[in-house]
Amino acid sequence: MSAETQETVAKASHSPESQALEDVVVRFAGDSGDGMQLTGSNFTEVTALFGNDLATFPDFPAEIRAPAGSTFGVSAFQIYFGSEDITTSGDAVDVLVAMNPAALTTNLETVVPGGLVIADAGAFNEKNLKKANYDSNPLEDGSLDAYRLLTIDIHSQVLAAVEEFEIGHKAALRCKNMWTLGLVLWLFDREKATTIENLQRKFASKPDIANANIAALNAGHAYGETAELPTGVNVYKVPKAKVAPGIYRNVNGTQALAWGLIAGGQLANINLLFASYPITPASGLLHALAARKEFDVTTFQAEDEIAAVCAAIGASFAGSLGITSSAGPGIALKTEAISLAVSAELPLVVVNTQRGGPSTGLPTKTEQSDLLQAFYGRHGDTPLPVIASSSPSDCFEVAIEAVRIATKYMTPVMLLSDGYISNASEPWLIPDIKDFAAFPVEFRTEPEGFNPSLRDPQSLARVWAKPGTPGLEHRIGGIEKSYETGNISYDPDNHQLMTDTRQAKVAGISTDIPEQEVALGESKGKLAVVGWGSTFGPIHQAVKRCRLEGLDVSHIHVRYLSPFPANLHALLADFDKVLVPEMNTGQLVKILRSEFLIDAKGLNKVSGQPFKIREITNAIKAELA
Amino acid sequence: MNQAVDKLTVADYSSDQEVRWCPGCGDYAILKTIQKLMPELNQAKENHVFVSGIGCSSRFPYYMNTYGFHTIHGRAPSVATGVKLANPDLDVWVITGDGDALSIGGNHTMHALRRNVDLNILLFNNEIYGLTKGQYSPTSKVGTRSPSTPEGSVDRPLSPCAIALGAGAPFVARSIDTEMKHLSPVVKESYLHKGASFVEILQNCPIYNDGIFEQVKDKKIAPDFRIEVEHGQPLLFGKDNNKGIRLNRESLELEVVTLGDDASLEEILVHDKTSITQANLLAAMQGPDFPVAVGILYHRPASAYVSDLEQQRLSLRESRGEGKLQELLSSGHIWEVK
């Protein structure tokens, strides 16, 4: 039996008749204006409160307001939840909510055969069908026979439900998403109370709108309870997950990264200047920090990417920690200045929320194709540490690590996230900030024996003397400096020494980071699947499934990419084969091959979508065949 | 602290680095003027930060015994903005040139001025790229012959002061490299101004653009080719101080008139440094038809960016209180798993 058929059979057992499920994938899809993201996030909250483990993936178009009914204007929100540990937003969809024909046609292929399709018949009119290139109505022509189809004229249902509020036809129709959510809440046996509270809060100043939405929610829920639904459409039971005890919350990558930077600043006892220029999908981080001025963080929306990184560098010179953030194209603009920070040996954190490239590429889609840029994308011999987050919640710790390394080693640090991580959310066991060891920055104040080239003999970090400190007046810059005095030097031997020192400083960080661990499986064997960044989730699930089938495969996830942990080479050498799945054409695999001279093999995907678990299980099985 | 400040001299502001500009470069005179001015500013030495970009002028910070950062081409205003944001108590200077500030760094100059960041920007304008061996610059006059324009440049120059005014700078002045008596008080005023200040310093490059400002510098002919503007004083110039600037009320353009000949003193425009309209007209004046205006062209204080931000932060802290991270992490919907 091929991996593909196994998967299908396994999924088919998820059919609604079985009622109790281990896990389920629900996808809400509709027009950009249909409020699918709001529907999804409300459903996520309820699901988390219920106690399922979950992961979500919002999938929205690049256009702010695409023409209504168009296929390129479809906005979707996917949630995968269950009673086992969930690390991806799911492969195949069990329940698709399609608010119009365009949403159906663009999302149907993700639905598992036998899956439930809920469609708003009220939106399947001639005009919308034409926009979605349907010659006949798929809700009526039998083309959806492979699925369980639940067609409801949600339009009419909603209008009837909110009639009493007299909010107008347009506003009434906007309540469609809440009606639908009400139905889905019923379908999964979930409480409405949290959503009702959210609606009351969101529309506090417009009680009519709040009440209309609540009425729509209740009506959708009641419809599920009372209407005669097609055979097999019944309440699903997804038991609570077995997760570690503690206080949890939902967190997306942007939030966790912002909070991690604030935490890092506190642990370093330093003010932060976050300087950025708007770019998708990185802008959220600027917004998140701009809203947190009660902490020691200043945000600066610069006139361009270059100004942003330069302001951050200026702040670091003056004794704050400068942080800048962008996506790939913006990082490209910043690279000259990043090299200045390497040369001047100032701390700097550069966050790259990667997106599909090259050029404008796929701004709202995810990719991890900026690894080589992070490693090598600068002029001169310009090494710097690179660190990557693996999931939304992991951003918190990774941000703290970036701040620690930047301030301890007086170096720019590249922190790689991506569009998936920044938007996706997952439950997070709220950490106790007291559990993190502080790493307070020490500024030089003693004039005796000072010059700006002094180094810590252990870390090789240059001394940090901030303007305003009496007796330490000094000049730094991008021209090569004397190793001895810090003054301009064109001496050939000195340039060699300074180049070697910059390399050694970054290389030395490998002894100051945790040893590489194996995320799942043994530390030697037939196959190591090595990943970095947001491929963690699907790789983890794939390795887990293959191990359940008895395959000799381990998952190694690399957080510290430059320098690598000191033991990584030896660890990989203990496996017969190394497979590196990446959402690029093969970047980490190139580095592993060139650094370690091992025959690592790539598994590559650049569709703007995360890996599906089965794509990786298939590759693992092919390797071990 | 103040006693120590009082005792400082030029020598205290000179670094131990050998100055490496070409012999005869106007930058020497500017450096000397600033070093001499420093003790007068009554500020602790460690509170001055000189930030520069790339070019001959941008070597300046190396020669000042203060804090200094020689950054990258065009970006000094951005780095300086970061310095000021991180520590608003510092006095931040930007040393730049015509190529640095108006070509590669035009965007940053414009936005530092627009935001009104409290920076003292000194632009050394020699109308040429010196460090890269003499290419024409965005301020070079039409017809400038250079290695990159062997037949003479055909594109029109821009006026640094007009750009600064257009960007909304609240303090705009023009002065001359070798005239300490004029330059020093202009720079001092720019320093005392809280907010962005912009001083264009006409600077001679003896190697690639020698004598370009001779008309306004040569004592013999300068009185006819430049006008020293002073707030509240009529705009008079000339060897005999009998030429003046009058506003043509029909065309709303300036015109040069001769006292007693075709105009009376009452008709001469009186300099009002708070008038943006007048400043724009004065900044645009150029030879040979008009005298070049030097002095403080425009000065109209406005609230400055970093202090406004600080104000926002203070009032926000008052209402929200100091941020507590653990509370932030636990904000919103949370749930307990037992």
**Residue-level pLDDT at A373:** 98
- Beta-strand pair B91-97/A553-557: unpaired
Q: How far is B87 from chain A (nearest CA, A)?
A: 7
Confidence of residue A19 (pLDDT cuts 50, 70, 90): low
Q: pLDDT-derived band of residue A246, with 50, 70 and 90 as boundaries?
A: very high
Q: Tell me which of A473, A474, A482 to substitute to probe the interface with B (most B C-beta atoms closer than 10 Å).
A: A473
Residue A2 predicted with pLDDT over 80: no
Give A49→chain B minimum CA distance, Å: 6
Residue A28 bridge partners (DSSP): A77, A97
* Token pair recorded at residue A215: 């009425």
Nearest CA-CA distance, residue A360 and chain B, Å: 22
Q: Chain A residues with CB inside 8 Å of B83's CB?
A: 314-315, 317-318, 467
What value does the mean pLDDT of chain A take?
93
pLDDT digits (tens, 9 = 90+) for A371-392: 999 999 999 999 999 999 999 9
Looking at residue B149, what DSSP letter applies?
B
CA distance B255 to B287: 12
Contact between chains at A298 and B67 (C-beta distance less than 8 A): no
Question: Which residues of chain B are within 8 Å of residue A488 when distances are taken between CB atoms?
Answer: 17, 62
What spatial distance separates the first Cα and last Cα of chain A, rounded to whole Å? 13
Instruction: Reply yes or no: is the peptide bond before residue B288 cis, omega within 30 of 0.
Output: yes
Reported as a single tens digit per residue, the pLDDT across A428-483 is 999 999 999 999 999 999 999 999 999 999 999 999 999 999 999 999 999 999 99
3-class SS of residue B294: strand
CB A543, CB A554: distance < 8 Å: yes
- Which structure tokens are listed for A221? 């829920």
End-to-end CA distance of chain B: 61
Q: Choosing among A310, A345, A400, A441, which should be mutated to test the B contact, i.e. which has the most B CBs within 10 A? A: A310
Question: CB of B143 within 8 A of CB of B152?
Answer: yes
Using an 8 Å CB-CB cutoff, list chain A residues near B69: 314, 317, 344, 475-477
pLDDT band for position A68 (50/70/90)? confident
A467 contacts on B by Cβ (under 8 Å):
46-47, 49, 67, 83, 87, 90
Residue type, A324: T
Q: Quick one: closest CA in B to A47, which residue?
A: B335
Map A4-60 to HEC letters. Answer: HHHHHHHHHCCCHHHCECCEEEEEEEEEHHHCHHHHHHHHHHHHHHHCCEEEEEEEC
Residue among B61, B86, B111 whose CB faces A319 most closely: B86
Which of B82, B108, B321 lies nearest to residue A313, judging by beta carbons? B82
Nearest CA in chain B to A275: B82
Please count the residues of chain B: 338
Of A306, A431, A471, Cβ closest to residue B75: A306
Residue B52 is encoded by which pair of tokens? 């520069």
Out of B15, B85, B326, the one facing A311 most closely (by C-beta) is B85
Min distance A476 CA to chain B CA atoms (Å): 5
Long-range contacts formed by A505-509: CB under 8 A, 24+ apart: A505/A409, A505/A411, A505/A459, A505/A460, A505/A461, A506/A383, A506/A384, A506/A385, A506/A409, A506/A411, A506/A562, A506/A563, A507/A383, A507/A563, A508/A459, A508/A460, A509/A385, A509/A405, A509/A409, A509/A563
DSSP code for A481: B
Please choose, from the candidates B270, B280, B309, B119, the residue with its C-alpha nearest in 3D space to the C-alpha of residue B196. B119
pLDDT score, position A56: 87
> Each residue of A285-340: pLDDT tens digit?
999 999 999 999 999 999 999 999 999 999 999 999 999 999 999 999 999 999 99
One pLDDT digit (tens) per residue for chain B, 338 residues: 444 556 789 999 999 999 999 999 999 999 999 999 999 999 999 999 999 999 999 999 999 999 999 999 999 999 999 999 999 999 999 999 999 999 999 999 999 999 999 999 999 999 999 999 999 999 999 999 999 999 999 999 999 999 999 999 999 999 999 999 999 999 999 999 999 999 999 999 999 999 999 999 999 999 999 999 999 999 999 999 999 999 999 999 999 999 999 999 999 999 999 999 999 999 999 988 999 999 999 999 999 999 999 999 999 999 999 999 999 999 988 888 87
Tokens found for residue A442: 């020490």
User: Strands A246-252 and B334-337, how do they pair?
Assistant: antiparallel
Say how far apart CA B32 and CA B64 lie, in whole Å: 10
CA distance B101 to chain A (A): 13
Residues of B in contact with A194 (CB under 8 A): 333
pTM tops 0.90, yes or no: yes
Q: Which residues of chain B are within 8 Å of residue A475 when distances are taken between CB atoms?
A: 15, 17, 61-62, 64, 67-70
What φ, ψ does residue A192 adopt, rounded to 5°? -95, -15
Query: CA A220 → CA A111, A161, A215, A226, B24, distances in Å?
Result: 23, 9, 9, 10, 85
Look at residue B29 in the predicted model and tell me its pLDDT.
Answer: 98
How far A338 CA lies from chain B's nearest CA (Å)? 11
Instruction: Please name the amino acid found at residue A222.
Output: A
Q: Do A467 and B90 count as a contact with CB atoms less than 8 A apart?
A: yes
Contact A518, A554 (CB under 8 A): yes
CB B301 within 8 A of CB B194: yes
d(C-alpha A21, C-alpha A427), whole Å:
20
Name every chain A residue with its beta carbon within 8 A of the beta carbon of B317: 293-294
Q: Which residue of B lies nearest to A50 if distances are taken between CA atoms?
A: B335
Please give the pLDDT value at position A243.
81
**Mind listing the pLDDT tens digit for each residue in A453-465?**
999 999 999 999 9
Q: Are A534 and A366 in contact (CB under 8 A)?
A: yes
Tell me the pLDDT band of A84, cut-offs 50, 70 and 90.
Answer: confident
Alpha-carbon gap: A315 to the closest alpha carbon of chain B (Å)? 4
| Confidence band, pLDDT 50/70/90 cuts, at residue A568 | very high
For an interface test with A, the pick among B3, B69, B309 (most A C-beta atoms closer than 10 Å) comes out as: B69
Nearest CA-CA partner of A352 in A383, A408, A319, A308: A308
CB contact under 8 A, A472 and B80: no
State the DSSP H helix or E strand holding residue B226, giving kind and residue range, or none if neither.
Answer: strand B226-228
pLDDT at A87 exceeding the cut of 90 = no
Closest approach of chain A CAs to the CA of B58, in angstroms? 11
Place of tokens 């390399």: A503
| Residue A1: per-residue pLDDT | 31
Residues on chain A touching B78 (C-beta within 8 angstroms): 302, 306-308, 310-311, 314
Is the pLDDT higher at A359 or at A59? A359
Contacts of B266 (CB under 8 A, 6+ apart): none
Instruction: With CB atoms and an 8 Å threshold, state whether B69 touches A249.
Output: no
Q: How many CB atoms lie within 10 A of CB A488?
A: 18
Q: Element (H or E) spanning A375, and its range? A: helix A371-376
> Which positions in chain B touch A470 (Cβ < 8 Å)?
44-46
Which tens digit of pLDDT belongs to each residue from A186-239? Answer: 999 999 998 999 899 999 999 999 999 999 999 999 999 888 777 777 888 888
Distances A221 to A22, A329, A516 between C-alpha atoms, Å: 23, 46, 49
Q: Which residues in chain A touch residue B70, judged by CB atoms under 8 angstroms apart?
A: 475-479
Cβ distance A433 to B322 less than 8 Å, yes or no, reads no
pLDDT tier for residue A85 given thresholds of 50, 70 and 90 = confident
Q: How confident is the model at residue A417 (pLDDT cuts 50, 70, 90)?
A: very high
